[in-house]
Each structure stands twice: as C-alpha cells, then as structure tokens.
Structure 1
Amino acid sequence: MVFLEKLSLFNINHLRKLYNRNEDAYICDKSFFDIYDEESFFLKYVIRKQIKLFKVNNDYVGYIWYEYPSDEGFSNIYSIYLKEECIDLLNSKLLSFFNIKTFRFDMVASSGASSIMKKLNFNINSKNILMRMRTTNFYRNNFDKRYFFKHFKEGQDEELRCKIQNSVFNEKNRIPLTVKDVYIEEEEDYYLRNYAVFVCNEYRQAVGYGQVIFNKGLYTIVNLGILKEYRHQGYGDALVKYLVGFCFKNSIKNIYIRVEKNNYQALNLYKKIGFEEYQSFITWSKNIN
C-alpha cells in the first residue's frame, strides 16, 4: 500500500532524486527546485506544503506536487510521479487525505503518468493538441484592414479583459476570472507585457481577446476568444494572425497554440493560417468530495 508523507528538510533529498526522473509537469514554467532553491527560508517552508511524498515499506517511491486549493476547493496538479513497480499498490482513497474537492492534471498524452491517473480513478476531461508555426512563414499582408487591435494596458484594462473572457468561457463549472486574478497574473514569470491584445469592431469596441505567454520555453497563444455575437465574422482569424505577426516583428521564431482535439473548426482555422500539430495533451480531473 502507498502512504503519504509531508515534505520536510529531513526528506527533501529523496524528492530531489525522484524529481530528476520525471518530465511530466506542464503547467509550471519552472521545475519545483528552480522555484524552491531561489526562495527565502520562510517561503521554502510554505512551498514544501505543496508536496506530498509517496512511501512503500519506508521507501520513497514518488511524489505529488499540487497548487494550494482555491476558495472553491479546486487544485491543479503540477507534477506526479510513482515508480512503475508501485503503481498497482495505489488506492484512490489516498486522495481523501487532501482537503480538496477537485483535482485537475494537464499532461503530455504519451506520459507514463496515465497509468497513475487511471489507478486513482481520474477521468479524462479533454484531449488537446499543441500546434506550432514558424513565424518566418508569416507574411505581413495577412492583416485585414477591416479589423482594429488594441494592446492591453496594465492598470487600465483588467476589468475589460475579465468581462470578455467570462463571457467567452462561460462553462458551467468554470470559476469566473476576477480583476485580482489578472493583477496576480501580471506578476507571473510567464506573463509578457504588451503581448495581450483586444480585437475591436469598426466602432473600436473590444469584441475578443488573446495573449502570448512564455511557458516552459514556448511562446504560446492562450485565452483566445471572441464574443458570441461576433463569431464567424473573421475576428478570430484576424486576432491569431495579428499575434503571430507581432511575434514575428519581435524576433520570436516559433509560436504555439493549443486546441481541443475535437474542435475541428479551430483546428482547420489554425492549419489554414500555418500551424502544424506538434504534441498531444490530456487533461484529467477527479472530484474528491
């Protein structure tokens, strides 16, 4: 049977050895120790609370690294690892020891962690494709003069961004984006100033939003969406092309975008623009309580 143990100064070297074996973290831009080793003594204590070690017969065999749960009890798993020979010893009841309502894990489809997710009774929430395009293949004459663009301004456009994103991504179980969330993101390492853009109609009203972040060494288009009443009018196509062109002008050679595997309309649009399939991902989720 697999047991949990809190991470401490006395067992952290076991984590270092285990962590070097695993390449499955996708959400975080930095590895755990890239973050941990740079922090003060107090913050190291706080960060250690995000790790639980897996033990079998007093041997350290794996770990789970997860974010602090939101007020709604939601938490992302950043990375999970267990020695292959110990996976059959897992029991889904292990997760009941976490004070978390819902876990979510975003990982490379080819990852060996799939067997861990199945053993813990996680469900596949979505399958996604990461697409890549060389910006040198982009031509400036792709711009359509019918559309207007406005770059996001920190300290001014946070509320507008929330309004658009919450309207576009209004799924039943999605937690609405808040102005506070946007301000927090502006301080993250992956955030790129001046790479967040609104697409506007002929009246200069923002009808869509998208941005480029730098995550795990990749410049990636994220949070792309157009208000429902303006879809199928070329705004999405224009915004993607604008972001690609902006990256090209700023000497970014490769740009990435992620799309659900069954979103054929978006897949065809991105392929038409010049993106090609690069890597596949699976998002797993599990309700604990």
Structure 2
Amino acid sequence: MVFMKKLSIFNINYFKKLYNKSENAYICDKSFFEIYNEEPFFIKYIIRKQIKLFKVKNEYVGYIWYEYPSDEGFSNIYAIYLKDEYIELLNSQILSLSKVNTFRFDMLANSKATAIMKKLNFNVNSKNILMKMHTTTYNKNLDENKIIFKHFKEGQDEELRCEIQNSVFHEKNRIPLSAGDIKIEEDEEYYLKDFGVFICTENGQAIGYGQIICNNGLYTIVNLGIVDEYRKHGYGEMLVKYLIELCYRQSIQNIYIRVDKSNDKALSLYNKIGFKEYESFITWYKNIE
C-alpha cells in the first residue's frame, strides 16, 4: 500500500530526486525548487506543507504538489508523480487525509499521470486545446468607430472586472471572483500590466473582458468573454483581434488561447482568426468524501 508522508528538511533530498525524474505535466511559471530556494527559512517551512511524499515500505516513490486549500476547501494540484510499478498499489482514499474538499488537476492530455488520476478515482471535467498563432500573420480589420476598448486600471477597475467575469462564467462551475482575488493576481509573476481589456459599446458600457498573461513564457489570452445579451454580434472576435494586435505592437511574436474541445463555435472562430492547435489538456476533478 502507498502511504503519504509530510515533506521535511530530513527527506527533501528524496523529493528532489523524484522531482527531477518526473515530467512537467502542469504548466507552471517556475519549478518547485526555483520557488523554494528563493524564500527565507520560515516561508520554506510553509511551502513544504504543499508537498506530500508517497512512500511504500521504506522507499519514497512519488509525490503530490498542491496549493493550500481555499476557504471553501478547493485546491489545484500543480504536479503529481508516482513510479509506474507502484500505481496499482494506490488507494483512492489516500487523499482523504488532506484538508481539501475538492481537487482540480490541469494536465497535458498525453501525460503519464493519467493512470494515477484513474486509480485515484478522479473524473474528467473538461478537455481543452491550447491554440497558437503568429502575430505577424494577423490582419487588422476592426471598425473602431463603433466600439471602444478600455484597458484595465489597477486600483480602479477590479469591481467592474468582477461584474463582467462573474456574469460571463456563472454557469462554468467557477467560484465567484472577488476584488480581493484580482488584487492578489496583480502581484503574480504571470500578470501583465496594461494587458487587461474591456470591450465597450459606443456609450462606454463594458460588455466583455479579456486579458493576456505570460505563463511559462507563453503569452496567453485568458478570461475572455462577452456578457449574454451582447453575444452573437461579433464582439468576441473583435476583442480577440484587439488582444492579438496589442501583442503585435509589443513585438510579441506568438500568442496562445485555450478552448474547450467541445466548443465548436469558439474553435471555428479561432481557426478563422488564424489560431492552430498546439497542445491538448485534460482537467480532472475529485470531491473528497
């Protein structure tokens, strides 16, 4: 049977060996040790709490790295690894020892971690495609006389962004966004100042939002959406094209966007604009009973 053990200064070298052997299934800005080694002693103690090692008898055979759970008990898994020969020894109840109610893991579709997810009784929540295009192939074709693009301003537009995004994604199984969440995001390394954009009507009413982040060196369009009553009028296409142009002006050569594999309308639109499939992802969920 596989057991979980806390990471400590006494077994961290075992974790380092396992971490160096595992694949990068989750796109992170930094590796664990790039984050860990930069911090003072007390913060390192807190970060170690995000790691649990898998152990069989006297051998360390894998690990799970996950974020500290939210107030609702939700946690993203950053990476998971287990030596192939021990996967069959996993018990689906092993994660019940954590203080997490719901786990989410976003990974490459061809990751070896798929076998681990199945053994732990995770369910597939969605399948996504990461698409890519060269900004140099973008052809500007916007009627800017009929629309307004307003750039997000820190310390001023957090509530407006919450209103737009919570309206757009209210049926997407997302925890409602708060202004505090956005302020935390503004301090993250992936966040890019002046790359958040509202699309507005002629009278200045914001009807959609999208932004570009830089995650693991990939400039990616995220949080894109138009409020219900203004959909099917081409606003989404105009917003995507504006974000591409924004990258082009900043000499960013490649831009990425992620889309649900079953969203035929979005796939058709992005293909029309010039995006091509780059990689596939699977999002797994597990509710801890």
Structures share fold, TM-score greater than 0.5: yes
- Counterpart in the other structure of 1:264: 264
Superposition map of 1:103-142 within 5 A: 103-139=103-139, 141-142=140-141
Per the TM alignment, residue 27 of structure 1 is displaced from its structure 2 partner at its CA by 4.8
Task: Compute the TM-score of the two structures, normalised by the length of structure 1.
Answer: 0.98
The alpha-carbon deviation at position 238 of structure 1 amounts to: 0.3
Question: Map of 1:60-139 to 2, 5 A cutoff?
Answer: 60-139=60-139
Code of the aligned partner of 1:284 = W
Q: Which residue of 1 aligns with 2:255?
A: 255
Residue 278 of structure 1 corresponds to 278
Offset of 1:147 from its aligned partner? 1.8
Q: Which amino acid aligns with 1:108?
A: L
User: For residue 199 of structure 2, what is the amino acid of its counterpart?
Assistant: V
* Residues in 2 aligned to 1:144 and 1:85: alpha-carbon distance in whole angstroms: 59
**CA shift for structure 1 position 25:** 4.2
Structure 1 position 148, deviation (Å): 1.2
Query: 1:193 & 1:142 partners in 2: Cα distance?
Result: 25
Q: What do residues 133-188 of structure 1 show as CA deviations (whole Å, max 9, x unaligned)?
A: 0001012x322222210000000000000000000000274210000000000000
Alignment partner, residue 143 of structure 2: 144
SS at match of 2:93: helix
- Give TM-score, length-normalised by structure 2: 0.98
Following superposition, the deviation at residue 43 of structure 1 comes to 0.4
AA in 2 matched with 1:194:
D
The letter of the residue matching 1:218 is: L
- SS of 1:20's partner is helix
Point out 4+ residue stretches in structure 1 off by more than 6 angstroms. none
Partner residue, 2:226: 226
Q: How much does 1:96 deviate?
A: 1.0
Contact 2:25 2:111 in 1 (8 A): no
Partner of residue 184, structure 2: 184
Structure 1 residue 62: deviation in Å? 0.4
Distance in structure 2 (CA, Å) of the matches to 1:75 and 1:252: 32
2:28 maps to 1:28: yes
Partners of 1:22 and 1:81 within 8 A in 2: yes
The 8 Å contact of residues 192 and 213 in structure 1, kept in 2 or not, is answered as: yes
CA distance in 2, matches of 1:63, 1:165: 34
Letter in 1 for 2:11: N
Structure 2, unaligned runs of 5 or more: none
Aligned pairs, how many? 288
Alignment check: 8 A CA contact 1:24 1:80 kept: no
The SS at the match of 2:225 is strand
Could you tell me how far 1:216 is from its partner in structure 2? 1.3
